[in-house]
A and B are shown apart, each in its own frame.
Chain A
């Protein structure tokens, strides 16, 4: 099996404002926190994406669907597990320019997004990063 060939002058995600409008990227959270590293990794990617957003390269949003909604429930205390409480980082995301949140309305009500709305959101993206 051979590796995919990359062009030497391959394309890049994003680009500057001069190269066109910011690429739309959606971080799609579908896993519960703590049971696996997916949620934590998604959060790291969000923080990194925030830096790109500050440069005007990308337009980032995050959507919580399926078990992903458990990442943002209140009252989480992971002291006994001995791991960082990821839930506490989400409220800080607007400080990193991540301020568009979507939540599946089947599970949690605050800023609901129905299936059609989710399909529309997915269709608008240049890239969807799943966690």
Chain B
């Protein structure tokens, strides 16, 4: 199962609840405002670091660039739209909107 999160982790609890139910090893894609979770040094960094211990975590390049995000938490993998599509093809998608 591929989990996708597109909401800011500061105003919404999507990421938190998603990680509560996502089984070990399930990949997580952060896109749109969800990419703010991938920024290093924020108050959700601990949550993302714990997630990284159990899941591959991806962030979409176009959304990172649009928001001027450069400093990512180590371990978060940057993907382009083609990479996103590839993941979607490989897994059943659970959109955690």
Contact = CB atoms under 8 A, between A and B. Distances in A.
Interface of A: 30-36, 66-67, 70, 73-81, 83, 85, 87
Contacts of A87: 68
B3 interface: no
A118 to B, nearest CB: 17
18 contacts: A32-B8, A33-B67, A34-B32, A34-B33, A67-B8, A67-B10, A67-B33, A75-B68, A76-B65, A76-B68, A77-B68, A78-B65, A79-B65, A80-B61, A81-B62, A81-B63, A81-B65, A83-B66
Nearest to B33: A35
Given A32-B33, A34-B32, A35-B32, A67 B65 contact: no
Interface of B: 6-8, 10-11, 32-33, 36, 61-63, 65-68, 70
